[in-house]
Amino acid sequence: MKISKIEPFILHVPVTRGAISDSTHDLTHWGAPGVVIHTDSGLCGYGYTGTHAHLPTDRLIVNCISETYGPLLVGEEPHNVIELWEKLFHFPPAQWVGRSGITQLALSAVDIALWDLKAKAAGLPLWKFLGGSAGTKITAYNTDGGWLNWSSQELIDSMRRQVEEGYRGVKLKVGSPDAYRDLERIEAVRKTVGPRIKLMVDANGRWDLPTAISFGQKLSDYDVFWFEEPIWYDDLAGHAALARAVKTPIALGEQLYGLDDFRDFITAGAVHFVQPDAVRLAGVTEWWRVADLALAHHLPVVPHIGDMMQVHLHLAIAHPACKLLEYIPWLRECFEEPATVRDGWFIIPETPGAGTTLRSAALERYNVM
């Protein structure tokens, strides 16, 4: 099997509940710039990254895929995923301009498409190809029900609905200019969902260290399961200081680009719940290394899902450090086999590949290239 053609795409898909905000981002659409890798066997691999659907930025990513990485891929044997990853990651002109950022997001899309192809060629869903078991239980927690731009009543109604639907965990966005408003909302949500539901809070990197410390010290009053991205993403020393100052565990990783970053945060004791995202980490290849690193430190891996669950469901089933996965339904209609939750558990996918195969109707409807 040889790679015969690289076909880029950019999907912009509306988020399901209208415009949503956290402390840092305002979204109306989720972006999926990506690639279909064609082969002379007729099999195709699908891979993409995740963005805020800003077309000029998304074009930079697909240009990197098609103009920089494409010529390095055509004619190659797609089974050699790790060798190809090394070739692209260490390609000197690309590495010179970025070991993080756009080059990593572009490599993520390529690497995911290659793993999709490899699993399809084996006739297996990726989780099974990677050694996972069909009996694995992955708990879903819902992130699409606690946005910062909602009123307290909308928030409470949404949280009540999620618990009725069977979710065992819910996430609430915090990081407001007024931290007391956030505490009032946490108290109201805890009352609504009861004592047994996991409640996570996420500040999306908004606060400074003193605010995060004083806010964080109050979280244990509400049995908050984790405090996510409390301060600036790259502030290793700040997160380590925060982790020593508060009882609530720290979660982060969605903004980290590589294995070196995770090694430094983990060894500094700056993170407890490790949240790697294959769409930022240059794909499945690097994601697996990060998950193994976390496992070696006996830390749970709870992937961030910039792919809107599809690949990460397979990875969560296969990797022993994963038991819990985020649920956000925005891209579900785009896929041949969308990730699905029933009674609070993810259903184990059955179709060969990484779960990334797009329905042709989705490409027709949402491709903005």
Q: Which stretch binds Mg ion (CB under 5 A): 160-168, 195-203, 337-345, 348-356?
A: 195-203
Q: Which is closer to Mg ion, CB of 9 or CB of 327?
A: 327
| Residue 90 annotated to the active site | no
Catalytic residue among 120, 128, 173, 239: 173
Q: Which stretch binds Mg ion (CB under 5 A): 101-109, 120-128, 194-202, 218-226?
A: 194-202
Query: Tell me, what DSSP letter sits at residue 134?
Result: T
Report if residue 326 touches Mg ion, rule: CB under 5 A: no
Per residue, the 3-state secondary structure of 212-238, as one string, reads HHHHHCCHHHHCCCEEECCECCCCHHH
Closest approach, Cβ 272 to Mg ion, in A, equals 15
Residue 3: strand pairing partners: 39
Select the span of 198-206, 207-215, 217-225, 277-285 touching Mg ion (CB under 5 A).
198-206
CB of 140 to Mg ion, least distance (A): 16
Q: Which stretch binds Mg ion (CB under 5 A): 33-41, 81-89, 199-207, 281-289?
A: 199-207
CB count in 10 Å sphere of residue 261: 20
Residue the block writes with tokens 């990853």: 85
Q: Which is nearer to Mg ion, 100 or 255 (CB)?
A: 255
Q: How many residues interact with Mg ion (rule CB under 5 A)? A: 1
304-317 burial string, b = 16+ CB within 10 Å, else e? bbbbbbbbbbbbbb
* CA gap 28, 58 in Å, rounded: 15
Nearer to Mg ion, 64 or 105 (CB): 105
Count of residues making up the chain = 369
Query: What whole-number distance in Å separates Cα of residue 309 and Cα of residue 316?
Result: 10
For the chain, the first-to-last Cα distance in angstroms comes to 28
Active-site option among 239, 304, 312, 314:
304
Tell me the closest approach of the beta carbon of residue 246 to Mg ion, in angstroms. Answer: 18
Q: Where are the alpha helices (DSSP H) in the chain?
A: 55-63, 70-73, 81-89, 92-97, 102-122, 126-129, 152-165, 179-193, 209-216, 236-245, 259-267, 284-296, 310-318, 360-366
In terms of CB distance, is 63 or 255 closer to Mg ion? 255
Q: Which is nearer to Mg ion, 202 or 337 (CB)?
A: 202
Q: What single letter denotes the amino acid at residue 301?
A: V
- Least distance from C-beta 329 to Mg ion, angstroms? 16
- The answer to whether 144 contacts Mg ion (rule: CB under 5 A) is no
Distance CA 61, CA 104 (A): 9
* Tally of CB atoms within 10 A around 181: 13
Antiparallel, parallel or unpaired: β 26-27 and 345-346: unpaired
By CB under 5 A, tell whether 202 contacts Mg ion: yes
Our answer to whether residue 239 is catalytic in this structure is: no
| Closer to Mg ion by Cβ: residue 144 or 202 | 202
Q: Which residues form the interface with Mg ion (CB under 5 A)?
A: 202
Which residues are identified as catalytic?
173, 304
